[in-house]
Amino acid sequence: MDDLTSLFREFDVLGAFWVNLQLTFWAAIFALVIGTVLALMRISPVPSLRFAGTTYVTLLRNTPLTVIIVFCVLGLWGHLGITLSGDFQQNFFWLAVLGLTVYHAAFVCEALRSGVNTVPVGQAEAARAIGLGFAASARLVILPQAFRGAVAPLGNVLIALTKNSTVAAAGSVVETSSLMRTMIEARGDVTVLVFLVFAVGFVLIVVPIGLVTTALSRRWAVAR
Amino acid sequence: MSGSVLFDSPGPRARRRMVWINVVATLVVAGIGAYALVLLDRKGQLAGALWQPLLTANAWENFLLPGLRQTLVAAGLSVVTAGAFGLVFGLGRLSASRAVRWVSGGVVEFFRAVPVLLMMVFFYLFLPQLDVVDPVDLPLVAVVLGLTLYNGAVFAELVRSGVHNLPKGQREAALATGLTRGQSLRLVEVPQAVIAMLPAIASQLVVILKDTALGAIITYPELLAAARRFGSGNGNILQSLVVAAVVFIVINWLLPRLAEVLAGRVGRRTAGRARAEAPSLAATGRDAS
């Protein structure tokens, strides 16, 4: 118990988790926006938009996140000199958010599309039968049901994003996995305890997200 | 095909309109691409001298292919160990004893919630203290352990849901022939569930393969690390990373296609439904229903 309190006193554990939560928060918002646009492109009647959306998803989903984040830092910043913030450390933070965003946008797109797949064909047929066009039937009939069907898969993406925010360490962002490394190197006598602190921290964040999204997806499920 | 649900096949007017939207959309996408190329060119990143080294035998023989081999070794080992882990804890979750069920459930939920990178870093720093692993193998062991625990937990869920998805008659028939519940599970239900989940395992390989790249953070010399090393030696990190990404994309694009072929092949050998899709697309899965 003394070890535990001294760990929290010596190291800013909560601060490190706060960095992960911030990474998750911003990447989640941006990925939701981009992912929704991609999903609309992939379900639209226009072949070129569908092709562009499919290509994006295929490319980004099959690239390891680590490669993307290393690319953001070494490629975009190191080679192309793109900076997202004047502050040196903040710059790495936003580059990591960029990497997390473009990667998870592909998964958000797929989650929303799986939501569209839960809508029975009859709904779309009925919408067309009363004279609604693509835009109107999507806005009034399909998407409201699709979003409700997509809550659970979107929750999965959010959980994955929360855990993947640790990969930002590959982009020189100081967060939980890098702090854990520092702590173990400083306090080799309590290695397992240090790991458990961080592991339990993630369990405490991830499990409630899962419970809440499961509950919401049940409550909002379209009764059929 | 989700698209076809949303719109009728286009008539003459819609087709004319589509031509225009197509042109505009193509222009926008091509414009973004052209802008990126201009940006790269302005920084001199399109210079042939930077791409050329990646086409030499040296790049592939000494860097990329050995890196790819390490990636495949780690992924291959992990999928086997994760399969064993998943089988043990999947059976545990189906056990008749409540205590075993609870412990297995706790273990599975725990390892699904902890980031893989955290586990890899932990093993990388912890194993030397125990002095059980040859320092040369340390990064590989740490990578495989991290991947095993997470993906094993995912497989355990697959085993459980696979057994739950079998028709009830399978167990009833097994019990009717005089097998005990445990025997029915081991001899009848789990083998069929495993066959049904083979394609899903193949799909999970994509996740495993992508996650091996995390090994670069703990000095495992896989493809990403090799590309980085080659890039910093030749001053073309950006180009090397692009090539490494393309290799990953090609392999990961092929794997699900193989999984689908597999699903078609084994489909007849199980009463369960062989599914080609991964348990969840993202790196984790709580039950998606």
Residue among A119, A153, A177 whose CB faces B5 most closely: A119
Q: Are B220 and B136 in contact (CB under 8 A)?
A: no
What's the pLDDT at B2?
A: 43
CB B165 within 8 A of CB B273: yes
Residues 223-252 of B with CB under 8 A from A: 224, 228, 231, 237-238, 241-242, 244-245, 248-249, 252
Residue B134 belongs to a domain? yes
pLDDT at B249 over 80: yes
pLDDT class of B285 with cuts at 50, 70, 90? very low
Are residues B227 and B262 both part of a single domain? yes
Neighbouring residues of A145: CB distance < 8 A, sequence distance ≥ 6: A115, A118, A119, A123, A222
Average pLDDT of the residues in A197-208: 94
Nearest CA in chain B to A191: B126
The complex scores an ipTM of: 0.89
The string of DSSP letters for B226-280 reads HHHHHHHHHT-HHHHHHHHHHHHHHHHHHHHHHHHHHHHHHGGG-SSPP--S-S-
* Region of poorest pLDDT, from A158-167, B40-49, B168-177: B40-49
Do B179 and B82 lie in one domain? The reply is: yes
**Which residues of chain A does B253 touch, with a Cβ-Cβ cutoff of 8 Å?**
58, 62
Residues 6+ apart with CB under 8 A from A207: B109, B113
Q: Are residues B33 and B56 in the same domain?
A: no
Q: Which residue in chain A is spatially nearest to B110 when comparing CA positions?
A: A203
Chain B CA closest to residue A209: B286
> Do B7 and B65 lie in a common domain?
no
Q: Please judge whether A43 and B2 are an interchain contact, meaning their C-beta atoms are less than 8 angstroms apart.
A: yes
In angstroms, the Cα distances linking B157 to A9, B101, B150, B152, B196 are 38, 12, 11, 9, 13
Residues B63 and B17 in one domain: no
Give dist(CA B112, CA B160) in Å, integer: 15
Total domains present in chain A: 1
Q: Is the pLDDT of residue B279 over 60?
A: no
Sign of the CA dihedral with A197 first, then A198, A202, and A205 last: positive
The answer to whether the Cβ–Cβ distance between B282 and A185 falls below 8 Å is no
Look up the CATH number of the domain holding residue B145. Answer: 1.10.3720.10
Average pLDDT for A165-178: 91
Mean pLDDT of all residues belonging to chain A: 90
Tell whether B29 and B114 lie within a shared domain: no
Whether B52 contacts chain A with CB within 8 A: no
Q: To the nearest whole percent, how much of chain A has pLDDT over 90?
A: 53
B212 and B229 inside one domain? yes
DSSP B28-77: HHHHHHHHHHHHHHHTTTT-HHHHGGGGSHHHIIIIIHHHHHHHHHHHHH
**Which DSSP string corresponds to A32-92?**
HHHHHHHHHHHHSS-HHHHHHHHHHHHHHHTS-HHHHHHIIIIIIIIIT---S-SSHHHHH
**pLDDT of residue B278 exceeding 50:** no
With respect to residue B278, please indicate whether it lies within any of the assigned structural domains.
Answer: no
Q: What is the pLDDT of residues A173-200, one digit of tens each?
A: 889 999 999 999 888 888 999 999 999 9
- Say yes or no to pLDDT of B178 above 60: yes
Contact call for A48 and B283, based on CB within 8 A? no
Determine the residue of chain B that is closest to A195 in CA distance.
B122
- Looking at the structure of chain B, the number of domains it has is 2
Query: What residues make up the domain containing B11?
Result: 3-42
pLDDT of residue B71: 93
Q: Are residues B8 and B108 in the same domain?
A: no
Report, as an integer, the average pLDDT of B82-90.
92
Mean pLDDT over residues A87-96, rounded?
A: 89
CB pairs < 8 Å spanning A and B: 207
Kindly identify which residue of chain B lies nearest to residue A50, measuring between CA atoms: B3
Q: How far apart are CA B178 and CA B172, in angstroms?
A: 10
Residue B58 lies in a domain: yes
Using one digit for the tens of pLDDT, what is the confidence trace for B141-158?
A: 999 999 999 999 999 988
Q: Is-contact A97 A23, C-beta < 8 A?
A: yes
**Does residue B111 form part of some domain?**
yes
Put simply, the answer to whether B2 touches A116 (Cβ < 8 Å) is yes
| Residues B117, B35 share a domain | no
Q: A206 is written with which tokens?
A: 């991830």
Would the pLDDT of A139 be above 80?
Answer: yes
pLDDT of residue B5: 59
Same domain for B211 and B185, yes or no, is yes
How far apart are alpha carbons B132 and B130 in whole angstroms? 6
Nearest to B72 by CA among B222, B204, B289, B267: B222
Q: Are B226 and B243 in a shared domain?
A: yes
Q: Do B286 and A210 touch (CB under 8 A)?
A: yes
DSSP symbols for B170-192: HHHHHHHTT--HHHIIIIIIHHH
- The per-residue pLDDT of chain B, averaged, comes to 84
Residue B10 contacts A, CB cutoff 8 Å: yes
Give a yes or no: residue B281 inside a domain: no
User: Looking at the domain assignment, is residue B286 inside a domain?
Assistant: no
Residue B233 amino acid letter? G
What is the span of the domain harbouring residue A17? Answer: 2-220
> The domain that contains A182 carries what CATH number?
1.10.3720.10
Task: Please state, in angstroms and rounded to a whole number, the distance separating the CA atoms of residues B46 and B14.
Answer: 41
Residues B119 and B78 in one domain: yes
